[in-house]
């Protein structure tokens, strides 16, 4: 045993737990921990401009890697700044460790400077939150925190450290410290057989793959099961990439906002749905009467209270997605060997063929640019190994309708919380987790402006990525929802910028702001120059190792397809009349060349 400060023990514990990527801001009440990290040297730290930004970066890192990002801040407002980040993480089942400094224990009841009960504030948006009042509790509480973050449905934790507790000494031996076992419920063979009994009784079965598949690192098992059964798979927004978009059995996303037309059509033609690691989120299901009509449901989820939360399935199973898929594969193999699996070839072929029909038009030449053309050009410009980062708004909804994703953890999205400003700092965390890989963020102008100062973090720490900003100078999603109230009220961001008349009434000069923060930027106003702009952004990012903003000036008003139920989605723009009108589409022809960029051969 060695006598050391608790913060020195914390630094050793973090490294042994494999949590070595930190994002934050030092301050008086957390400086002891920073001194330990500096002395120990095993934890890399990225200095942010805003603590909320640091929390989103830690979240982005966790999503990109499957590990645990750390967010660190001082007492008082640093902790309250983390709350939005904690909410985004818990909403999507993302493990993240937030650590805050705190006033000394003996003044916590005296309204001391920057002393706030962050434990109570954080509890509703964490799996566990604790102000550690005794030095001797440090090792055990950290061990418990990591166990909780990783067990069952993953999620974030906040640990609050009074400064006197940080400075206290304890006896500690890191060689005697071991991470606590992780609890993940696992389906049984008998349960898998029950699932297959229901599935094989159906004519048109479908798998819905949620974010739990990606959390479980079970994408390969998902694809194996789908191929074994020869049935289509529809990923949710959080499960996007669990089966590549160009796989013949990827049947398109289902939903009332983020969806494909062929995905909704396939779902409505199904009579059995196996949900694995999904939540039945309302943007996915829409009107439940329409969603549930004429089909049976099996729901497999790691969280027991998630099964039956939205509606009662015909069969519910509490299990880690990977463990359930392994059991289903084993059971299906045995049935295949016995020759008792139905032949779903006709159904699978029907769903694959559907991917070549009914696309939304993207090949517009309008000036100002129509947003659909931006996604068409993004698909052509960025390879299959690209990781996209986005959060909310018409930009994200249209992106999910028209972009293509080809692997797990290549679509990083704050799906349920959708906090404005998340995209930029989350992208920085993704870059930390995927060094040397292509990272492309997608924002509307308002999301981009929310935490625009975080661009300086990327410039300072050489974190290159491409940030596509589709600028219509509007709160586009809010404007579209205001149509029901017959108003367009306080949703325009445009004004005549006296310092940048070239912005033509669009207001903020994002190019100048980005350059002032140490980054590079490109403005595109002609759709036929989008490819050139993306190529230039890639060159600048590689050369300067900084974020590069590609601002695309859009038409101010575009309504993106959405509705209240799967069979009543409003189409505001014309549909494609031929493949040439929608070269973003993954048609059967392009499926023959999965190594080529989306749209190849169309």
Give tens-digit pLDDT for 474-497.
777 878 888 888 888 888 888 888
The percent of residues in the chain predicted with pLDDT above 70, rounded, is 96
Same domain, 129 and 71: yes
pLDDT of residue 105: 92
Give the tens place of pLDDT for each residue, 121-141. 999 999 999 999 999 999 999
Under the banding of pLDDT at 50, 70 and 90, the label for residue 600 is very low
Detail the DSSP E strand segments found in 210-334: 233-235, 272-276, 296-301, 315-318
Residues 299 and 242 in one domain: yes
Residue 252 shares a structural domain with residue 392: no
Q: Do 122 and 86 meet the contact criterion of CB atoms below 8 Å apart?
A: yes
- List the beta strands (DSSP E) in 287-352: 296-301, 315-318
> Cβ(159)–Cβ(19) under 8 Å?
no
Sequence-distant (≥ 6) Cβ neighbours of residue 137 within 8 angstroms: none
pLDDT in tens, 536-557: 999 999 999 999 999 999 998 8
State whether 547 and 464 are in the same domain: yes
- Identify the three-state secondary structure at position 209: strand
- Domain, as residue range, for 477: 371-560+572-591
In 376-482, the DSSP E strands lie at 387-390, 411-413, 439-444, 466-471
- Are 319 and 237 found together in one domain? yes
Phi, psi of 90 (to 5 degrees): -70, -30
**Does some domain include residue 532?**
yes
Backbone phi and psi for residue 29, each to the nearest 5 degrees, phi listed first? -80, -5
CA distance 329 to 139: 40
Rounded Cα gap, residues 318 and 193, in angstroms: 15
pLDDT digits (tens, 9 = 90+) for 90-132: 999 999 999 999 999 998 888 888 789 999 999 999 999 999 9
CB atoms within 10 A of CB 311: 12
210 and 320 share one domain: yes
What is the tally of structural domains in the chain? Answer: 3
Last residue of a domain, one of 176, 206, 239: 176
Q: What is the pLDDT of residue 577?
A: 66
Q: Residue 8 is encoded by which pair of tokens?
A: 């020195």
**Residue 266 CA, distance from chain mean position:** 25
Q: How many other C-beta atoms are found inside a 10 Å radius of the C-beta of residue 520?
A: 22
Q: How confident is residue 61, by pLDDT bands cut at 50, 70 and 90? A: very high
Please indicate, yes or no, whether residues 349 and 378 belong to a single structural domain of this protein.
no
Residue 495 confidence (pLDDT): 83
| Overall average pLDDT of the 172-180 stretch | 97
Mean pLDDT of all residues in 387-404: 93
Same domain assignment for residues 86 and 195? no
Q: Is residue 183 part of a domain?
A: no
Q: Return d(Cα 553, Cα 141) in angstroms, integer.
A: 50
Question: What's the alpha-carbon Rg for the chain, to the nearest Å?
Answer: 25
Last residue of a domain, one of 176, 202, 234: 176
> Is residue 393 predicted with pLDDT exceeding 90?
no
Q: What is the mean pLDDT of residues 362-373?
A: 93
Q: Average per-residue pLDDT in the chain?
A: 93
Q: What is the pLDDT of residues 15-36, one digit of tens each?
A: 999 999 999 999 999 999 999 9
Shared domain for 153 and 261, answered yes or no, is no
- Summarize pLDDT for 215-258 with one digit per residue, the tens: 999 999 999 999 999 999 999 999 999 999 999 999 999 999 99
Two tokens at 131? 């102000």
Q: What gap in Å lies between CA 431 and CA 425, rounded to an integer?
A: 10
CA torsion, ordered 400, 402, 407, 410, to nearest 10 deg: -50
- Kindly state the tokens that stand for 592: 């023959």
Lowest-pLDDT choice from 139-143, 480-484, 499-503, 526-530:
480-484
Q: What is the DSSP letter of 286?
A: -
């Amino acid at each position: 045993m060695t006598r050391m400060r608790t913060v020195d023990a914390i630094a050793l514990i973090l490294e042994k737990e494999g949590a070595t990527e930190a994002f934050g801001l030092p301050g008086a009440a957390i400086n002891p921990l920073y001194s330990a990290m500096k002395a120990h040297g095993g934890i890399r730290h990225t200095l942010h401009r805003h603590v909320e930004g640091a929390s989103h970066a830690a979240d982005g890192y966790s999503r990109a890697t499957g590990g645990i990002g750390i967010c660190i801040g001082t007492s008082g407002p640093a902790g309250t700044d983390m709350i939005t980040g904690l909410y985004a993480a818990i909403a999507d089942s993302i493990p993240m460790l937030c650590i805050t400094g705190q006033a000394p224990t003996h003044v916590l009841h005296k309204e001391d400077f920057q002393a706030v009960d962050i434990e109570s504030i954080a509890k509703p948006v964490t799996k566990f939150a604790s102000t550690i009042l005794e030095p001797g509790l440090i090792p055990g509480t950290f061990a418990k925190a990591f166990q909780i973050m990783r067990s069952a449905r993953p999620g974030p934790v906040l640990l609050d450290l009074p400064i006197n507790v940080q400075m206290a000494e304890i006896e500690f031996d890191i060689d005697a410290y071991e991470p606590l076992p992780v609890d993940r419920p696992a389906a049984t063979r008998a349960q898998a057989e029950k699932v297959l009994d229901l599935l094989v009784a159906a004519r048109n079965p479908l798998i819905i793959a949620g974010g739990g598949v990606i959390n479980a690192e079970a994408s390969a098992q998902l694809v194996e099961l789908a191929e074994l059964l020869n049935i289509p798979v529809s990923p949710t927004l959080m499960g996007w990439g669990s089966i590549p978009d160009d796989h013949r059995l990827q049947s398109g996303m289902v939903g009332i906002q983020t969806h494909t037309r062929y995905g909704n059509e396939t779902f409505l033609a199904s009579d059995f749905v196996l949900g694995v690691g999904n939540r039945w989120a309302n943007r996915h299901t829409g009107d439940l009467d329409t969603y549930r009509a004429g089909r049976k449901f099996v729901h497999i989820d790691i969280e027991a209270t998630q099964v039956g939360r939205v509606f009662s399935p015909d069969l519910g199973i509490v299990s880690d997605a990977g463990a359930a898929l392994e059991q289903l594969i084993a059971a299906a193999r045995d049935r295949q060997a016995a020759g008792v699996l139905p032949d779903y070839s006709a159904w699978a072929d029907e769903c694959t063929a559907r991917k070549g029909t009914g696309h939304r038009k993207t090949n517009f030449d309008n000036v100002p640019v129509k947003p659909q053309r931006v996604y068409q050009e993004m698909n052509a410009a960025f390879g299959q190994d690209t990781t996209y980062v986005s959060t909310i708004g018409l930009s994200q909804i249209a992106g999910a309708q028209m972009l293509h994703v080809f692997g797990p953890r290549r679509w990083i999205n704050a799906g349920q919380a959708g906090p404005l400003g998340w995209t930029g700092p989350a992208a920085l965390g993704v870059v930390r987790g995927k060094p040397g890989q292509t990272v492309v963020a997608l924002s509307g102008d308002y999301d981009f402006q929310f935490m625009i100062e975080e661009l300086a973090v990327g410039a300072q720490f050489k974190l290159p990525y491409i940030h596509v900003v589709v600028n219509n100078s509007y709160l586009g999603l809010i404007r579209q929802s205001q149509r029901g109230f017959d108003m367009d009220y306080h949703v325009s961001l445009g004004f005549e910028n006296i310092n940048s008349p070239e912005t033509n009434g669009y207001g903020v000069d994002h190019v100048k702001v980005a350059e002032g923060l140490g980054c590079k930027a490109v403005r595109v106003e002609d759709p036929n120059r989008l490819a050139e702009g993306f190529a230039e952004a890639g060159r600048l990012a590689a050369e300067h190792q900084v974020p590069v903003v590609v601002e695309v000036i859009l038409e101010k008003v575009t309504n993106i397809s959405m509705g209240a139920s799967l069979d009543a989605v409003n189409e505001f723009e014309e549909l494609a009349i031929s493949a040439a009108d929608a070269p973003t589409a993954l048609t059967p022809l392009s499926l023959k060349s999965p190594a080529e960029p989306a749209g190849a051969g169309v």
